[in-house]
Amino acid sequence: MFEDPVTAGCMIGSLIHLLPYTPSTPSSYLTSFVASTDGSPFEGECAYDPASMWCFSRTPGPLSSTSLPLSPLFAPSPTSSSLLIVSNVTTATIGVVKLSHDSPADLSVTLEEVIVQPTFQDTLHEVEAVYLTLDRLFALGYRRVEARVDGGDVANKSFFEKIGFHWDGTAAKATLYELEGGDVVSSNAEIYSVLNSDWKVSLLSVREGIEGWFSDDI
């Protein structure tokens, strides 16, 4: 597994910072993650249906304080890691970035999940979380970061396109979902990627002001 960000400290941005998850991560960070993603009112916002943020996740959710440490989203692995998205203002955990399929030999890794509390979806907080992740990976020498998005997840497809990922193609019947009745259905996955050479160009845009990326949505 890559040395950073798993073994290093936080990645600090203007709005959020990324805290590498380990079994010794203070419980307060995990408690606020559960509170911000289980559908209950959070920091003055209204309650919401948690299915709206977990429906396309590869991880069954929402999570509880007891199920979180056992969840695949946080399970330790030699080829994966999880980064908690923490608000700089409230210090509450508002989401998580999950990296998987790390291949040092190929200098590639998969951005498997970006799960963010609905208030911060498609906002600069989510943008900065992905930006900090990519910037660190490419600084470490990685050449390709891949993301797979469910074919029906219109919001995430738009999000990755906005932040500089390129569409590589469609993987037919790539994901299986179990329905409430026990039936299993398959879904296509849209494959996106960003290369280290792409990121050099994207970084210039970031320095000029990332607000421009989402000016139509703010």
Which one-letter amino acid corresponds to residue 1? M
Phi/psi of residue 116, nearest 5 degrees: -135, 140
Average pLDDT over residues 84-105: 94
pLDDT band of residue 143 (cuts 50, 70, 90) is very high
77 or 201, which is more confident: 77
pLDDT of residue 213: 52
pLDDT of residue 187: 83
pLDDT band of residue 2 (cuts 50, 70, 90) is very low
Q: How far apart are CA 175 and CA 125, in angstroms?
A: 28
11-214 CATH: 3.40.630.30
Whether 99 and 72 have beta carbons less than 8 Å apart is answered as: no
Q: Single out the residue of 190, 161, 186 nearest to residue 175, CA to CA.
A: 186
Whether 35 and 42 have beta carbons less than 8 Å apart is answered as: yes
CA distances from 121 to 63, 72, 143, 209 (A): 18, 22, 27, 19
> What tens digit of pLDDT does each residue of 3-62 get?
433 335 689 888 999 999 988 888 889 999 998 888 888 777 788 888 877 888 877 788
pLDDT of residue 202: 66
pLDDT of residue 99: 95
> What tens digit of pLDDT does each residue of 174-193 get?
777 666 677 777 888 899 99
Q: How far apart are CA 190 and CA 184, in angstroms?
A: 20
Query: In the beta sheet, which residues pair with residue 82?
Result: 98
Query: What one-character DSSP code corresponds to residue 177?
Result: E
> What tens digit of pLDDT does each residue of 159-169 get?
888 888 999 99
